[in-house]
Amino acid sequence: MNMDVPFAPVVVTAAQMQAIEARIFSHGMPVAALMEKVAQRITQRIQQRYPLPQFPRAAILVGPGHNGGDALVVARELHHRGYQVQMHQPVSTLKPLTADHARYAQHLGLSFCQNSQDWLAADFIVDGLFGFGLTRPVSGALADLVAVINQSSVPVVSIDLPSGLHTDSGAVLGTAIAARHSYCLGLWKRAFFQTAALPYLGQAELIPFDIPALDQAAILSQSAPIQLITPSLVRQLLPWDRPPAAHKYQVGSLLLICGSQQYPGAALLCARSAQASGVGMLYVAVPQSLRLWVVSQIPEAVVIACPETDTGAIAALPSDIHWERIDAIALGPGLGDSPIVPALLAVDKPLVLDADALNQLAQMPVEATLQARSSPTLLTPHGGEFKRLFPREAERNGDLMNCVRDLASQLHVVLVLKGAKTFIAGPDGCLWINPESTPALARGGSGDVLTGLMGGLLAQHPQPAASSGWITQLAATAVWWHAQAGCFAAQRYSQLSVSPSLLVDTLKDSLAHLRLA
């Protein structure tokens, strides 16, 4: 799903959107006036996407509620602009305002057809069956209608949300329309960032309708917000410049503990991305047998040789590590079955846990272990690791946003759930979502790159790390930069060409590109 700008910084539930709209209406905005405003903007976008000379025939699916009313106003406006419009109304009972627009459409001579072969001959379909707030499964004749639409090759434009999706969880309620374009109205709904909904959304765009800030704040201030990561958030934390008199120990010291004979490349990817973060001093602890190889690849790092287990993993850390010089630790990529994880969880330093460190944590009393830590802890699981860590919570009503947010708050950690839309939650109850990424990152080793990058940024901001909100934003910055590098590389080459090694190289290029943008 491509996220076109501009986009709103907040993400709302169906209940929050209903409350915002109710507040707007209670202060005098006529429902009919807002419907006209929204529909005019949708019509303008449709004209841009489907210009009349190439796409003269439009089919409009009219639902019983105000989503159907929006669709009817769009139908009227397309008709006035020269499109050949046919409408299909599968539900006979309409809300009063929607019924008024249906009568006027009939007065204008717009045709209502029941034969699917008639309206499937259109150049595009406008889906106005159900908007946000749907809770009942789509079944019977409506489910058959959705199946016919999805089996056709006619592109679909969905108003607000593809019909059949749950607004909050993104779950498919029986069945759902697979849209080519989804025009989200007012504020982003949660479904647009839920994995279950992504195959149905197509290209998503926000159609704002000028919600007053005071009405938005009155509702959203009642709980911790869900927000989208934006360039304005991350710019203050990206490593643009350094003070003129800076020296290496003033710009962060990071200890990476990673790699094994089975997974040597993880150490290299993690270390190279940490370098790209701009960290001043980089210490890399690896098994003894990997030391010379890592030194040859990253001569700038201080490579610490560690005794090995029989399987080639780190058996223990040397006793002469100068912990007072370390600002942050990143632990886990390629670690294998190393027994050192419990001891490092007890170290009073900011800590990023990934990969094998998370798998080992899952074998421990997770809640007690994490709550016992006094320094900031960042967990970066993908979906499988998340289920191993939190098996009961992972399937809670399919609502991962609330699940991630609650866990981060309860355990006093920053929890980064990696996926197509990565969620970042902190102890303060806030949740950040990375809105733009690329499937080019679906490669083994991409997570190792993120771990090094996140550790490097964390080490460069040791003092603000005392603030849980600041730590959450640091994690969000790393996620955003990592994804932007993936998008930049995919655009320059191709999605299939973006190896983790290329991703590391692109971190620096993408940062320069972003600075010039």
Contact between 183 and 159 under an 8 Å Cβ cutoff? The reply is yes
d(CA 504, CA 212): 42
Asked whether the predicted pLDDT for residue 461 surpasses 90, the reply is no
- Lookup result for tokens 């089919």: 59
User: pLDDT > 90: what percent of the chain?
Assistant: 83
d(CA 58, CA 79): 9
Q: What is the mean pLDDT of the chain?
A: 91
Query: Going edge to edge, which strands form the sheet with 203-207?
Result: 111-112, 84-88, 57-62, 124-128, 156-159, 181-185, 203-207
Give residues with Cβ within 8 angstroms of 392, minimum separation 6: none
What is the chain's length?
517
What is the pLDDT averaged over residues 283-307? 96
The residue among 513 and 136 whose pLDDT is bigger is 136
What is the pLDDT averaged over residues 88-102? 94
Asked whether the predicted pLDDT for residue 516 surpasses 70, the reply is no
| Structure tokens given for 163 | 């019909």
| Structure tokens given for 365 | 């009393």
Task: Tell me, letter by letter, the H, E, C secondary structure of 311-348.
Answer: CCCECCCCCCCCHHHCCEEEECCCCCCCCCHHHHHCCC
Give residues with Cβ within 8 angstroms of 217, minimum separation 6: none
Lowest-confidence region among 33-47, 63-77, 201-215, 465-479: 465-479
Give residues with Cβ within 8 angstroms of 29, minimum separation 6: none
| Structure tokens given for 183 | 């025009």
Residue 323 phi, psi dihedral angles, 5° rounding: -65, -30
What is the pLDDT averaged over residues 511-516? 65
CB atoms within 10 A of CB 178: 18
For the segment 463-484, what is each residue's pLDDT rounded down to a tens digit?
Answer: 554 455 788 989 999 999 999 9
d(CA 131, CA 162): 7
**Burial (0-12, 13-18, 19+ Cβ within 10 Å), 56:** middle
Element (H, E) at 84: strand 84-88
pLDDT given for residue 115 in this prediction: 72
Q: State the binding site for (6S)-NADPHX.
A: 66-70, 131-137, 160, 266, 334, 382, 448
**Could you give the C-alpha distances from 109 to 105, 189, 206, 397, in angstroms and in order?**
7, 35, 31, 46
The residue among 351 and 512 whose pLDDT is bigger is 351
CB atoms within 10 A of CB 288: 14
Q: State the binding site for K(+).
A: 67, 127, 163
d(CA 409, CA 124): 45
The residue among 10 and 115 whose pLDDT is bigger is 10
| Structure tokens given for 361 | 């944590």
* Dihedral sign from CA coordinates of 430, 434, 439, 445: negative
| Structure tokens given for 180 | 């080519």
**Could you give the C-alpha distances from 88 to 43, 126, 235, 293, 334, in angstroms and in order?**
18, 10, 48, 67, 56
Q: State the binding site.
A: 66-70, 127, 131-137, 160, 163, 266, 334, 382, 418-422, 447-448
Asked whether the predicted pLDDT for residue 4 surpasses 70, the reply is no
State the pairing for strand pair 281-287/302-306: parallel
Closest CA to 305 of 293, 290, 322: 290
Q: State the binding site for AMP.
A: 418-422, 447
Asked whether the predicted pLDDT for residue 169 surpasses 50, the reply is yes
Residue 304 phi, psi dihedral angles, 5° rounding: -100, 120
Give residues with Cβ within 8 angstroms of 340, minimum separation 6: 257, 314, 315, 316, 317
**Residue type for position 319:** S
In the chain, DSSP finds a helix count (H) and a strand count (E) of 19, 19
pLDDT given for residue 468 in this prediction: 57
Give residues with Cβ within 8 angstroms of 466, minimum separation 6: none
Asked whether the predicted pLDDT for residue 399 surpasses 90, the reply is no
pLDDT given for residue 2 in this prediction: 40
Asked whether the predicted pLDDT for residue 3 surpasses 50, the reply is no
For the segment 46-70, what is each residue's pLDDT rounded down to a tens digit?
Answer: 999 999 999 999 999 999 999 999 9
What is the pLDDT averaged over residues 426-430? 90
**Residue type for position 41:** R
Contact between 94 and 123 under an 8 Å Cβ cutoff? The reply is no
d(CA 73, CA 104): 10
Strand locations in 143-290, DSSP E?
Answer: 156-159, 181-185, 188-189, 203-207, 226-228, 253-257, 281-287
Contact between 133 and 12 under an 8 Å Cβ cutoff? The reply is no
Asked whether the predicted pLDDT for residue 7 surpasses 70, the reply is no
**Residue type for position 503:** L
Asked whether the predicted pLDDT for residue 128 surpasses 60, the reply is yes
**Could you give the C-alpha distances from 517 to 42, 511, 512, 514, in angstroms and in order?**
29, 10, 9, 5
Lowest-confidence region among 27-41, 158-172, 179-193, 392-406: 392-406
The residue among 198 and 468 whose pLDDT is bigger is 198
Give the CA angle between residues 316, 317, 322 to the nearest 5°.
Answer: 165
- Lookup result for tokens 């997974």: 263
CB atoms within 10 A of CB 36: 17
Asked whether the predicted pLDDT for residue 166 surpasses 90, the reply is yes
Beta bridge partners of 203: 181
- Whole-number CA gyration radius for the chain: 26
pLDDT given for residue 112 in this prediction: 87
What is the pLDDT averaged over residues 21-38? 97
